[in-house]
Structure 1
Amino acid sequence: MRPQAERAASDGLIWGLQRRLLVMLFLPLGMVGMVSVFFHYQSAGTAALQQDQQLLHLVPLLADSVVVSQDGSDSRALGTELGLALLLAPPVEEFLKEREGFAAYGLMDASGRLLLGDAWLPTVLPSTGDAEFLSVVEGGVTYRVVAQRNDTAAGELIVMLADGSDARQNWLETVLLRVLLPNLLLLLVAAAAVTWAVARALRPLIDLKDAVEHRSPRDLSPIDAESAPAEVRPLVASLNRLFSLVNDQTQAQRRFVADAAHQLRTPLAGLQAQVEAWAQAARSMGAGDMLSLRVDQVQRMRDATRRTSQLANQLLALSRADSVSADAQPMEQVDLRELCENILALYLDAATSKQMDLGIESAPAQTRGHAWLLRELLINIVDNAVKYTPPGGRITLRCGLEETPAGWRAWMEVEDDGPGIACDEQTRVLQRFYRLPGTQTEGNGLGLAIADEIARAHRTQLQLAVGAMGHGLRVRVAFDAVTPPLATVAHGPQRGRSADGPVRESKEG
């Protein structure tokens, strides 16, 4: 069933392209044919009008050609009847010779009796001196006939002249032979050529499709571009780039899972060892006996549980940041000042326990992004600062706007006076699970990596620098700003910092 489905898909691809090409070919050719028919018809009408004008011009000449001859001695006379003869004027004689077999003339008296000429001509009795035109079919030929009363040498006669070369009776045949038939042949040849050319041109694509389709899902090795036709090499190169990106992402996911398993193993092993020790002690006790626990055991178990929970939350945040980068979900307007104030309130208790000075210096700033991810970004940066800044230290959250050559930027930063990060390590600390050598504080090496991943999902990145006092760390991230009103830009930053206590938050304005 599958080979039949694949052949059906290939045939459908070829036939679909053939159909589109044929339609694109037929439409202009059909329009050209219609225009040609129209112009041929106009040309035939013009020729017919010129024919009528010529007949109208020759009728007086034919009337002047009538002579009265009793003996018929004139060698140029066409015939005699009741003493009448025709001594043709040169234009009339030339007209009859050029259209021999397709031209006729006639002379009738006032009652319609034929005196000279072809007997098949109809009897036409013009009531005035104006010429009358009519079409007559004789012997399968349509004749254009003109009849007019004219004064002749034999008195007033009805002079008739017929022309069987009327362009309008042949225009349909001309169109069929000169327009429709050649275009029809051209369409048939083009259809055959398109069918053959499309099938041949798409064969490399069909072969490439079959090669990719029959690959193992785990096979992300590049396709040999040299063996592919030149026409599809750009496509092969694009596929190889895609395979490379997917392979890199797959490898990163595998490393991530392996690192996550390694990081989770330590706290889980500690929890399991502690629980196993309690279970071993409980085996020798009765069902109603109380199991006593030391304070240090409970604290170790709490620390291990907190570390496991924090690591799970960080892994979830990292996974969400990856999914946002891939899915490009719609963004919303985010108030960075409000975000900084909320995170400040969230970490006041943690800063109080370490006697830290935690404050904020904020100005109105808004951007477009994922509010829940930007909250996670700031939480990880502040958590990293609180965790690694020694007791009694100083941490400041800031946000605001700045004008750059590329436009307005909304920014946030967190600055501390802790140990900081050496310049040669600032790039490496953004890697997942990387921790500075000699770090004693517990952690997973994910905080700044998550923040940087979220920043990249918002088309920016973290900027690490030394603190303003020459030590500590300043982490900054800037986004495209929602263009603010002038009054908002002119309004200065709003500062809040503990005044008579280590972490009491105060807001002005």
Structure 2
Amino acid sequence: MSGKDGSAQQGSLFGEILDWMLAPLLLIWPISVALTWLVAQGIAGRPYDRELGEMARSLGQQVAAAEAPVKGRDRYALAPEAAALLRVDASDTVFYQVLGQRGELLSGDAGLPVPTEDAPVVPWELHFRDDEVGTDAVRVAYLWVAPEGQAPAGRTLLVQVAETLGKRTRLTNEIIKGVILPQFVILPLAVLLVWLALARGISPLNELQRRIRSRDSSDLSPIDEQRVPDEVAPLVQAINDLLARLDSSMSRQKHFLADAAHQLKTPLAGLRTQAELIQREIDAGRSNPDELKRSLAQIARASERAAHMVNQLLSMARAEDAEQGMRREPVNLAEIAIDTVRDFVPRALERRIDLGYDGVLPEDSRLRVQGQPVLIGELIRNLVDNALLYTPAGGLVTVRVVEDPFGQVVVLQVEDTGPGIAPGEREKVFQPFYRSLGSGVEGSGLGLAIVKEIAQQHDAELALDDTRVRRAAGGESPDGQGPGARFTIRFPAGPAETP
């Protein structure tokens, strides 16, 4: 069954199971009637075949014992009394026939057909067949008879006795009635019992449905698997797994929203404080242009921090949007990296940081990354922004794209000469709103969390290490600069671009 949109609609599970249980039953029932009819015919014909065979054998014995012709009839013709006794049957018509060795009629009914089998003639061996006399269907018993005083291989006579099928048909019908009529009572009863059994068997599902519907919308605790049938246990386990993932996701969202509100509260509070100070200064008539400029500059910095925080929150939302991550296309990673470096050059010059790109050029790069261009661009922007924040003046930030010679991955690296990240903190820095203590750098704490989320959506491997070797103590590199931080992301390579 399909809806207006052509999509298949799932019907009732109860009706589906009931259909599959009753359909074979209703299909087998007419087959059972046909088989019962065949068996009843065999059962009804067996006693009548024995009686018909005895009549044929008795007639054969009389024919074999005939010694001399009687006036007015052949030697092998039955006496009128015997013939009359043979035909006495209130239900069916009985025919008999005696044929000579050459097929001539010696006695009986000429219309009775002769057997057509080519089997060898064995005297006194009884045979049966179905045949017709005129328009009447008959059952025939026949045998070959050797007259007394002759060798078995000598002259043989064919003796046949046939009767119509009235008694057999009536007995067959009686048997059919005795077997089939009770089925008309048993079949509806069986359907009812199947329906009741199925309704009772499916009742645990109704109970499970009632338990789930009665839950509060905030109740994400697992469903008790001990109170469900074994067949439904895998479904309940899958639902519990979904509830656990949903609970974890909602907990992360609540934590994220709480942290975001806390982070936004600081710049907004600063904006409000500076605005109130300016208002009081103006009301008191003590407005100094230099002080007003300083307050306005602080307002500008606070608003910039708030705007940056909002942008990071939007970026985090885009990174967690699984549907957007599914819309993938071939991406030239080198091209996006170079464009991002160009965008950050003014900021790097302002901070006196040497920002550069080192790697394959877009026109030389044949490998492509299957991904979402906007998200990959956001990933590189956050890595470069993080490097510029933590690199002191006179430092160096390098963005690098390297292709695997085996064509398996495309490697993106962003490294700096800043203070680096201690090994114990390298897992924590990818958590939302986490910032290293003592760094003195203002930031939202979302940049690296966004990087990790985008990398996971693109099945990329993310690694963090030092740019230079640290000293045994002090955390600095041998040349006096900081050990720096190097972020390495290995993207699975897509198909190579054909020249």
- Normalising by structure 1, we get a TM-score of 0.68
Among 135, 138, 144, the alignment partner of 1:143 is 138
Shift of 1:209: 1.2
Shift of 1:199: 1.6
Residue in structure 2 matched with residue 258 of structure 1 by the alignment = 258
Distance in 2 between residues matched to 1:299 and 1:409, nearest whole Å: 46
Question: Is contact 1:136–1:144 with CA below 8 Å preserved after alignment?
Answer: no
Shift of 1:192: 3.1
Task: Say if 2:357 is the partner of 1:360.
Answer: yes
Task: Say if 2:210 is the partner of 1:210.
Answer: yes
Question: Is contact 1:41–1:171 with CA below 8 Å preserved after alignment?
Answer: no
Residue in structure 2 matched with residue 310 of structure 1 by the alignment = 308
Residue in structure 1 matched with residue 329 of structure 2 by the alignment = 332
Question: Is contact 1:108–1:158 with CA below 8 Å preserved after alignment?
Answer: yes
Distance in 1 between residues matched to 2:328 and 2:190, nearest whole Å: 51
In 2 relative to 1, CA 224–130 (structure 1 residues): closer, same or farther, beyond 3 Å?
Answer: closer
Task: Say if 2:65 is the partner of 1:104.
Answer: no
In the TM superposition, 1:48-447 aligns within 5 A as 65=63, 69-70=69-70, 79-80=79-80, 104-106=94-96, 124=111, 133-134=131-132, 143-144=138-139, 161-165=161-165, 188=188, 190-283=190-283, 294-324=292-322, 329-363=326-360, 364=365, 365-402=367-404, 408-447=408-447
Task: Say if 2:489 is the partner of 1:477.
Answer: yes
Question: Is contact 1:432–1:445 with CA below 8 Å preserved after alignment?
Answer: yes
Cα-to-partner distance string for 1:312-358 (whole Å, 9 max, x where unaligned)? 01001111222227x86332222211111111111111112122222
In 2 relative to 1, CA 199–425 (structure 1 residues): closer, same or farther, beyond 3 Å?
Answer: same
Distance in 1 between residues matched to 2:187 and 2:289, nearest whole Å: 96
SS of the counterpart of 2:79? strand
In 2 relative to 1, CA 79–455 (structure 1 residues): closer, same or farther, beyond 3 Å?
Answer: same
Question: Is contact 1:134–1:145 with CA below 8 Å preserved after alignment?
Answer: no
RMSD, aligned α-carbons: 5.0
Residue in structure 2 matched with residue 4 of structure 1 by the alignment = none
Question: Is contact 1:340–1:397 with CA below 8 Å preserved after alignment?
Answer: yes
Task: Say if 2:16 is the partner of 1:20.
Answer: yes
Distance in 2 between residues matched to 1:134 and 1:167, nearest whole Å: 16
In 2 relative to 1, CA 313–254 (structure 1 residues): closer, same or farther, beyond 3 Å?
Answer: same
Question: Is contact 1:322–1:453 with CA below 8 Å preserved after alignment?
Answer: yes
Cα-to-partner distance string for 1:405-449 (whole Å, 9 max, x where unaligned)? xx8223312111111101110001111111101011111111101
In 2 relative to 1, CA 416–339 (structure 1 residues): closer, same or farther, beyond 3 Å?
Answer: same
Match for 2:260: what amino acid? A
In 2 relative to 1, CA 196–282 (structure 1 residues): closer, same or farther, beyond 3 Å?
Answer: same
Higher percent of residues as strand: 1
Distance in 2 between residues matched to 1:362 and 1:24, nearest whole Å: 65
Distance in 2 between residues matched to 1:175 and 1:440, nearest whole Å: 102
Match for 1:413: what amino acid? Q
Distance in 1 between residues matched to 2:134 and 2:159, nearest whole Å: 16
In 2 relative to 1, CA 179–280 (structure 1 residues): closer, same or farther, beyond 3 Å?
Answer: farther
Distance in 2 between residues matched to 1:480 and 1:174, nearest whole Å: 80
Match for 2:333: what amino acid? L
In 2 relative to 1, CA 257–22 (structure 1 residues): closer, same or farther, beyond 3 Å?
Answer: closer
Question: Is contact 1:18–1:198 with CA below 8 Å preserved after alignment?
Answer: yes
Residue in structure 2 matched with residue 90 of structure 1 by the alignment = none
User: More deviation in 188-197 or 383-392?
Assistant: 188-197
In 2 relative to 1, CA 334–183 (structure 1 residues): closer, same or farther, beyond 3 Å?
Answer: farther
SS of the counterpart of 2:12? helix
Cα-to-partner distance string for 1:127-173 (whole Å, 9 max, x where unaligned)? x99999536788xxx535799xxxx9xxxx99974244599968995
The runs of 5 or more residues in structure 2 that have no matched partner are: 1-9, 100-104, 118-129, 148-156, 471-482
Distance in 2 between residues matched to 1:26 and 1:458, nearest whole Å: 51
Match for 1:454: what amino acid? I
In 2 relative to 1, CA 294–469 (structure 1 residues): closer, same or farther, beyond 3 Å?
Answer: farther
Distance in 2 between residues matched to 1:291 and 1:172, nearest whole Å: 121
SS of the counterpart of 1:347? helix
Residue in structure 2 matched with residue 495 of structure 1 by the alignment = none
In 2 relative to 1, CA 338–176 (structure 1 residues): closer, same or farther, beyond 3 Å?
Answer: farther
Distance in 2 between residues matched to 1:362 and 1:377, nearest whole Å: 18
Match for 1:206: what amino acid? N
Distance in 1 between residues matched to 2:487 and 2:60, nearest whole Å: 111
Residue in structure 2 matched with residue 500 of structure 1 by the alignment = none
The runs of 5 or more residues in structure 1 that have no matched partner are: 1-12, 87-92, 489-509
Distance in 1 between residues matched to 2:390 and 2:174, nearest whole Å: 96
Question: Is contact 1:106–1:115 with CA below 8 Å preserved after alignment?
Answer: no
Match for 1:298: what amino acid? L
In 2 relative to 1, CA 309–37 (structure 1 residues): closer, same or farther, beyond 3 Å?
Answer: same
In 2 relative to 1, CA 279–409 (structure 1 residues): closer, same or farther, beyond 3 Å?
Answer: same
Match for 2:20: what amino acid? M
